[in-house]
Amino acid sequence: MYRVEERIIFWITVLVGKISGRNLLISVPFLWIFLFFICPCLILIGISLSEGVIASPPYTSIVEWISGHMLQIRINLGNYMLLFTDEMYVRGFITSVLVAGVSTICCLLVGFPMAYAIARTSEKIRGILLMLVVLPFWTSFLIRVYAWIMLLSPCGFINSLLLKFHLTDAPLQLMNNSFAACVGIVYAYLPFMIFPLYNAIEKIDYSLIEASYDLGSSPMTAFFSIVVPLSAPGIYAGSALVFVPAIGEFVIPELLGGVQTLTIGRLVWNEFFENMSWPTAASLSIVLLIFVVFPIVFAQRRREIELFSKD
């Protein structure tokens, strides 16, 4: 048997032997990521399995020493069970998926014609047109949402125009509903849809479409049997890029959606800030992450998005 000191000295020499410029360099970002990403995630999972109490901090520890020699681990699945039995949360999941799904489809409907039109312009203006698509994206996110509050609110731009021309007698309720939230999401994430679509459409050989015309197909047939299948990679990538941020979105539903659009992101916020129920907020976040992972796995199966580099 080695003595304890000998063992310690052995391990220290092993560790020192490992110290090199290379490993030191690796350890810097590794430590950062470990401390401020992996640890928070583990703590989040831990708290989602704890019990909520009225105290500071408002949860019980899941690991406890009892009478000095017994380690007790208490895992509480009640938070998760609550999420799938309480109507408010279930409705929240459905609302989130619906809002994100409808917005993704609308983004596709707006983005596809635009990407197609941009890809068909001459190469000179293409660069400018693409830059004009991203430009609003560089202005503040909140400002872009605010612009829609200004347009849609009861005393906003659209309603005052309608009233001026006597198209309506009373202001229409355009804001504080799921429609407004969808419009906001489409506006905010449209560039994410246009760019992958443009990349896919640009590669399509236009002579294929001409050939189909020569062989007597109508524009509609040509579009659905040539353009759509060939731009499928762009459609998958763009849809994932819109759906993923849309499902966890907090700011847009909060400002434009009103009480009706209680998405998961808003539920997490409310549970944390208003109900002070940290375990519920944590378990909601975990469920939200599962909702996010699904479309990514789906898109990666299709090998359209490379989120994780190969080398």
Partner 1 sequence: MRFRWSNCVLFFGYLFLYFPLICIVVYSFNESRFVAHWTGFSLKWYKALVSNSIILRATFTSVKIASLSATISVILGTITAIIITRFGRFNGKTIFVGAITAPLVMPEVVIGLSLLLMFVGMEKIFGWPIRSGMTTVTIAHITLTLSYVTMLVQARLHDMDKAIEEAALDLGASPLKVFFVITLPIISPTIILGWLLAFALSLDDVVIASFVAGPGATTLPMIVFSSLRFGISPEINALATILITALSIGVIISAILIYKKKI
Of 230 and 251, CB closest to partner 1: 251
Instruction: State the Cα–Cα distance between residues 222 and 227, nearest whole angstrom.
Output: 7
- Please report whether residue 170 would count as binding partner 1 according to CB under 8 A: no
User: Length of the chain, please?
Assistant: 311
Q: Helix, strand or coil for residue 248?
A: coil
Picking from 234, 253, 262, the residue whose alpha carbon sits closest to that of residue 188 is 253
- Please report whether residue 197 would count as binding partner 1 according to CB under 8 A: no
- The string over 202-215, giving b where at least 16 C-beta atoms fall within 10 Å of a residue's C-beta and e elsewhere, is bebeeeebeebeee
Among 8, 9, 19, 41, binds partner 1 (CB under 8 A): 41
Q: In the range 276-295, which residues lie near partner 1 by CB under 8 A?
A: 278, 281-282, 285, 288-289, 292
Using CB under 8 A, which of the segments 75-83, 148-156, 200-208, 230-238 binds partner 1?
148-156
- Please report whether residue 40 would count as binding partner 1 according to CB under 8 A: yes
Q: What phi and psi values does residue 27 have, to the nearest 5 degrees?
A: -70, -25
Of 78 and 136, CB closest to partner 1: 136
Picking from 284, 301, 311, 199, the residue whose alpha carbon sits closest to that of residue 240 is 301
Picking from 193, 58, 18, the residue whose alpha carbon sits closest to that of residue 115 is 193
- Please report whether residue 155 would count as binding partner 1 according to CB under 8 A: yes
- Please report whether residue 172 would count as binding partner 1 according to CB under 8 A: no
Instruction: State the Cα–Cα distance between residues 310 and 293, nearest whole angstrom.
Output: 19
Q: In the range 15-34, which residues lie near partner 1 by CB under 8 A?
A: 21-22, 25-26, 28-30, 32-34
Output the smallest distance, CB 310 to partner 1, in A: 10
- Please report whether residue 308 would count as binding partner 1 according to CB under 8 A: yes
Output the smallest distance, CB 63 to partner 1, in A: 13
Picking from 292, 282, 290, the residue whose alpha carbon sits closest to that of residue 248 is 292
For residue 103, what are the contacts with CB-CB under 8 A and spacing of at least 6? Answer: 181, 182, 185, 186, 189, 242, 246
Of 235 and 246, CB closest to partner 1: 246
Output the smallest distance, CB 160 to partner 1, in A: 4
Among 160, 218, 221, 275, binds partner 1 (CB under 8 A): 160
Output the smallest distance, CB 86 to partner 1, in A: 19
Q: Are 251 and 189 in contact (CB under 8 A)?
A: no
- Please report whether residue 142 would count as binding partner 1 according to CB under 8 A: yes
Q: In the range 222-261, which residues lie near partner 1 by CB under 8 A?
A: 244-245, 247-251, 254-255
Instruction: Provide the 8-state DSSP code for 73.
Output: E
Of 2 and 29, CB closest to partner 1: 29
Instruction: State the Cα–Cα distance between residues 267 and 259, nearest whole angstrom.
Output: 11
Output the smallest distance, CB 1 to partner 1, in A: 30
Provide the angle, in degrees to the nearest 10, between the axes of the packed helices 78-85 and 278-301.
70
Q: In the range 82-141, which residues lie near partner 1 by CB under 8 A?
A: 110, 113-114, 116-118, 120-121, 129, 131-133, 135-136, 138-141
Q: In the range 50-69, which residues lie near partner 1 by CB under 8 A?
A: 57
